[in-house]
Amino acid sequence: MSDGNDDISLDDRPLNDRPVFFAELRPHRSLGQRGHFVFFLVAGMLTVAHMAIFLISGAWPIVMFFGVDFLILFGAFWLNNRAARACELVEVSRTSISIRKRAPSGCETAHEFNPFWARFQVSRKEEIGITDMSVSGQGRRTDVGSFLHLDDRERFASTFAGALARVKRGL
């Protein structure tokens, strides 16, 4: 996958550098853009209606609290949507494991591992499932997929472990 910053596409890479496995991990959000618009339209109309009722009845201090509540709700959803911009790009080739993490702010960190020295560690709790996944090697360690839903963690862990095992076997 080329994000526009690379001069080399996947097809131009040597055979050993072509990815055996690629995953783009993103946090799950239940509402899309349209859902947020509808939610805030309804919430705004209800807030204005309640504000009008209390204003007409002479309880103007309550009107300010409704406005503050709506602003706090909007701020919480804004922060939630901002956190949804986080992303992890995980790529396994025959010569490297590349994990690029993008923070909601846009900052990106890259972690490179040799697949023959790397270990994929999964921590599980019997009643919950996977609680932590990480890749370590050569004295370095990085978490992977910490924001994923439990089912997505299971699916990613089995697929990633399989790809890493294939690379180590030389297939």
CA distance 3 to 6: 7
pLDDT of residue 11: 55
Residues in the chain: 171
Q: Name the DSSP class of 1.
A: -
Q: pLDDT at position 153, please?
A: 92
CA gap 82, 102 in Å, rounded: 12
CB 145 within 8 A of CB 156: yes
How far is residue 102 CA from its own chain's centroid? 9
Which pLDDT score is estimated for 7? 47
> Averaged in consecutive runs of 10 residues, what is the pLDDT profile of the chain (171 residues)?
46 69 89 90 95 92 92 93 90 93 92 92 91 92 91 92 90 67
